[in-house]
Structure 1
């Protein structure tokens, strides 16, 4: 990803209104972000436990989405993140939903997927060793490309609600 300023980051959210953009809390270490090593930028809101943000380069433009983490826990022992394809204990994977891009999102349309609860997928794909005993790992480069493609596909589904 190329470096983004705070104003560019806030302006990138396609499923947020002006107040949500203004109130979005950036990570404390935002100014130290190493943009050269990010395929996408994701973080949990430090002021709101149930909110997260994901920004990716979509068709040459920074495109961000506001995410909401579902309340509750799973009975499963382990779960697979749909972004990084990492098998983790179920309490480390959460269902995140995102309103579709405006105006469809204003009507309540949303989409959800399971993502690492701490939104650290961009780091998990770079781990060379499996996190779970039965997990089969592809090459790191293939995992990075796959996570980037799945992130862009998720954002694309959110954009399907946008006016043409």
Structure 2
């Protein structure tokens, strides 16, 4: 992922009002490992159920405002697999819902998906494969598994952004 500026991030949102974009609390962008990131995702410190994801879509930054599902009354979430990185071993996935773009979103239409609670998808797809994933553990096979995971993460997350932006 190419490094992004605050201005680029704020201009990228396809489903947020100007007020929501202005009020968004952005993460510190100075020390991010941009070369190992496929997306930038974060929770808003001031509004814990608000979250944001920005990624490159057709060479241009595209972002969505998300709402996290509240924690269950019991305090325990069920284990769930992230639909983007397909990882189960990390912190777990949370249901994030995004208002659709345009008139559809203004009418209250939303779309949701399970995403790693802490948006660690880029890190998860780069972990070494298990023996079940790579077979005999040959390094070339391991590199292919990681490359495939990265490609699939980019495809699935980009499709979600496209679905949010679709106004029909």
Verify: 1:152 aligned to 2:165, yes or no. Answer: no
Asked if 1 retains the 8 angstrom alpha-carbon contact of 2:82 and 2:92, the reply is: no
In structure 2, the CA distance between the partners of 1:18 and 1:136, relative to structure 1 (3 Å rule), is farther
CA-CA distance at 1:103 after TM superposition: 2.6
Q: Equivalent residue for 2:147?
A: 141
Verify: 1:99 aligned to 2:105, yes or no. Answer: no
CA-CA distance at 1:152 after TM superposition: 0.5
**How many residues of Structure 1 are paired with residues of Structure 2 in the alignment?**
156
Verify: 1:14 aligned to 2:14, yes or no. Answer: yes
CA-CA distance at 1:104 after TM superposition: 1.6
In structure 2, the CA distance between the partners of 1:77 and 1:106, relative to structure 1 (3 Å rule), is closer
Q: Equivalent residue for 1:38?
A: 37
SS at structure 2 position matched to 1:112: strand
Higher strand share: 1
In structure 2, the CA distance between the partners of 1:141 and 1:22, relative to structure 1 (3 Å rule), is same
Tell me how far apart the structure 2 counterparts of residues 77 and 47 of structure 1 sit (CA, whole Å). Answer: 26
Superposition CA RMSD, Å: 2.2
> Which protein has the larger Cα radius of gyration, Structure 1 or Structure 2?
2
Q: Deviations over 1:109-163 (max 9, x none)?
A: 1100001111111111111145xxxx9546111111111110001111111127x
Q: Give the structure-2-normalised TM-score.
A: 0.84
Tell me how far apart the structure 2 counterparts of residues 72 and 38 of structure 1 sit (CA, whole Å). Answer: 27
Q: Equivalent residue for 1:85?
A: 86
